[in-house]
Amino acid sequence: MAKLKTGPGAADPDTLYEMLVDAHRDLDDAASAKVNAKLVLLLANHIDDLDVVRAAIAAARAGGRAG
């Protein structure tokens, strides 16, 4: 069983951040929320580990703190 990684992990975090910001550029709030929802579902499907996804949901609801 995998564990949720919450520490730094991206080889190039600045590029990752830019990619996420660019994904929302020129979108209104509704379109931005739709992109977020689709991205979450795609990544959750890719992770394919319910325990990791469950831990990520809990961390997100707790303000980003893993628990």
Percent of the chain whose pLDDT exceeds 90: 81
Residue 66 — pLDDT band, cuts 50, 70, 90? low
Amino acid making up residue 2 = A
CB 34 within 8 A of CB 45: no
Q: Is the pLDDT of residue 61 over 70?
A: yes
Q: What is the mean pLDDT of residues 5-18?
A: 92
Distance of alpha carbon 23 from alpha carbon 1, whole angstroms = 31
Instruction: Tell me the pLDDT of the chain averaged across its residues.
Output: 92
List all residues 6 or more positions away from 16 whose beta carbon is below 8 Å from its beta carbon. Answer: 10
CB 59 within 8 A of CB 4: yes
47 CB burial (10 A radius; 0-12, 13-18, 19+): middle
